[in-house]
Amino acid sequence: MPPAKNKYEARLQELILEAKRLDIEVRSEKLLREAGYRTKSGSCRVKGQQVILLDRDTRVSEQIEFLAGELAARQGNSQPSD
């Protein structure tokens, strides 16, 4: 099963590189959890810089799914309209 994990890790790194090309910083961090709410990955702007925070405690496949969705949404918004 290790090859599958490496495949997921490689895909995540590809997405992180794509984000850098779009001038988006990606951070993988341990997001604080407390009783009463569930944390999840998300995006924000810090001092004008787009940042995507990935919860490093989630499965790599979930990080890939979230990051791919965020990048697709941004690429869709940057397309020129006719």
The pTM of this model reads: 0.79
Residue 36, Ramachandran bin (φ over 0: left; ψ between -120 and 50: alpha; else beta): left
pLDDT score at 81: 46
pLDDT at 25: 96
Tell me, letter by letter, the H, E, C secondary structure of 2-49.
HHHHHHHHHHHHHHHHHHHHCCEEEEEECCCCCCCCCCCCEEEEECCE
Averaged over successive runs of 10 residues, the pLDDT of the chain (82 residues) comes to 79 97 94 75 92 93 96 76 45
CA–CA dist 77, 2 (Å, integer): 36
